[in-house]
Amino acid sequence: MRSQPTYPAKIESDIQLLELLIRPSAALIESIRQISGPLLVLGAGGKMGPTLCVLARNAAREAGHSLAITAVSRFSDVQSREWLELQGIKTVSADLLDRTAVQTLPDAPNVINLTGLKFGTKTNPALTWATNTVGPMLIAERYAKSRIVALSTGNVYPRVPVADGGAREDHALTPLGEYANAAVARERVFEYFSQLNGTAMALMRLFFAVELRYGVLVDIARRVWDGQPIDVTNGWFNCIWQGDANEMILRAFSLASSPASVWNLSHPKPLKVRTAAEQFGKLLERPVHFTGNEAPDSLICNADKLCTRLGEPATPLETVMEWIANWIQRGGTNWNKSTGFEVRDGSY
Ligand SMILES: NC(=O)c1ccc[n+]([C@@H]2O[C@H](COP(=O)([O-])OP(=O)(O)OC[C@H]3O[C@@H](n4cnc5c(N)ncnc54)[C@H](OP(=O)(O)O)[C@@H]3O)[C@@H](O)[C@H]2O)c1
């Protein structure tokens, strides 16, 4: 029988946070043996990529499995590149919208695509569409013979009635706004090349990843801490501890197929904004102020399909909330990267 992971009561430093995010589970250690190298992680310089690469490396080490990992990004954030290299991960700087750059990337039997663009769509929609379509096209062509796990987003769905319990994978992809529609196009481009070339792919529709420096729960907690009102019109959301999301992304190679398979990636239970804020009010010992009233629909999902295949994400969201509250009280690092969880018109 697998041992249950143990969690600290609080997380007291960036180092301790990183240690937790890169600690592989028994299930990941077992499954990483099925991934032959090099494992190429594209768009590795953002919020999830650095810890995903090191998590994969740690799982391979514990499995006694030799797995070379290459992290590719433009590395606009130099620190993420420095940190990856310090951890012994090979990095390659490349613009994945540049055809020549993509063609000269190393061969790899297994590829994860994390590239995408959401924020800034209002001011430069053309770049959002290019990042979410031209990039995937070049990647899918270049890695036609590889297995690809490609990140998508819950934003591909429209809002659904909360009473229905969340969108399933076969729900119509008819969202509002340019970012969301470009995200639909990202999936369709990957799907098209999966059909055309028989490339095995898994498309992962991730709902908010959360750790202590960013994420929807951090946004809500910080509003409570700062005494700002919380708009509950968009009343429910799904999220997942980032360490669990990265684990499931790595384990998703086993789910890749042609035609591409599609999976909602989230903690299975949608949370209510009002309830989460009230919980933070208690943990932070602050009054909570609300505006608006819950609309009957929200952007939420049913993640049963993935949880049935890989098991439920291990980290309880109640524990994550306790970590976040304590982190904020002790002045922990904040990336100031708001998720825009209140947005209902698809405008980012
Ligand atoms: N984090 C979440 O809560 C969340 C929720 C839903 C879906 N997702 C999906 O999951 C994926 C990963 O999430 P994330 O939070 O790590 O995203 P992120 O912070 O935006 O990271 C993606 C990285 O891709 C790189 N990139 C973008 N265009 C590129 C290009 N032309 N060439 C090379 N690299 C490029 C960028 O890094 P450089 O500037 O270094 O190139 C960027 O930081 C995203 O695609 C997103 O759609 C994430």
Ligand 1 midpoint to CA 116 (Å): 5
User: Cα separation of 15 and 23, whole Å?
Assistant: 12
Is the model's pLDDT at 1 over the cut of 80?
no
Is the model's pLDDT at 28 over the cut of 50?
yes
Which of the four pLDDT bands, split at 50, 70 and 90, describes residue 2?
Answer: low
User: Cα separation of 95 and 86, whole Å?
Assistant: 22
pTM: 0.97
Around ligand 1, the residues with Cβ closer than 6 Å are 43, 45-49, 73-76, 95-97, 114-117, 131, 135, 151, 153, 206, 208-209
User: Tens of pLDDT along 53-103?
Assistant: 999 999 999 999 999 999 999 999 999 999 999 999 999 999 999 999 999
User: Tens of pLDDT along 300-338?
Assistant: 999 999 999 999 999 999 999 999 999 999 999 999 999
Ligand 1 midpoint to CA 151 (Å): 9
The architecture (CATH level 2) of 14-209+239-269+299-314 comes to 3-Layer(aba) Sandwich (3.40)
Give percent of the chain with pLDDT exceeding 70.
99
Which of the four pLDDT bands, split at 50, 70 and 90, describes residue 3?
Answer: low
Question: For the chain, which residues make up each domain, given as ranges?
Answer: 14-209+239-269+299-314
Report CA torsion sign: 127, 125, 203, 31: positive
Report CA torsion sign: 47, 53, 58, 59: positive
User: Tens of pLDDT along 218-235?
Assistant: 999 999 999 999 999 999
Report CA torsion sign: 102, 110, 131, 45: negative
**In terms of pLDDT, which residue wins out, 44 or 6?**
44
Query: If you average pLDDT over residues 12-37, what whole number do you get?
Result: 97
Angle formed at CA 187 by CA 76 and CA 202, multiple of 5 degrees: 95
Contact (Cβ atoms closer than 8 angstroms) between residue 250 and residue 59: yes
Ligand 1 midpoint to CA 187 (Å): 15
- The confidence score (pLDDT) of residue 5 equals 82
User: Tens of pLDDT along 230-254?
Assistant: 999 999 999 999 999 999 999 999 9
- The confidence score (pLDDT) of residue 133 equals 98
For 17-40, b/e burial (b = at least 16 CB within 10 A) is bbebbbebbebbbebbeebebbbb
Of 40, 74, 189, best ligand 1 pocket probe by most atoms within 8 Å of the beta carbon: 74
**Ligand 1, atom 15: nearest CA belongs to which residue?**
47
User: Cα separation of 126 and 284, whole Å?
Assistant: 42
Of 40, 47, 91, 348, best ligand 1 pocket probe by most atoms within 8 Å of the beta carbon: 47
Of 115, 133, 205, best ligand 1 pocket probe by most atoms within 8 Å of the beta carbon: 115
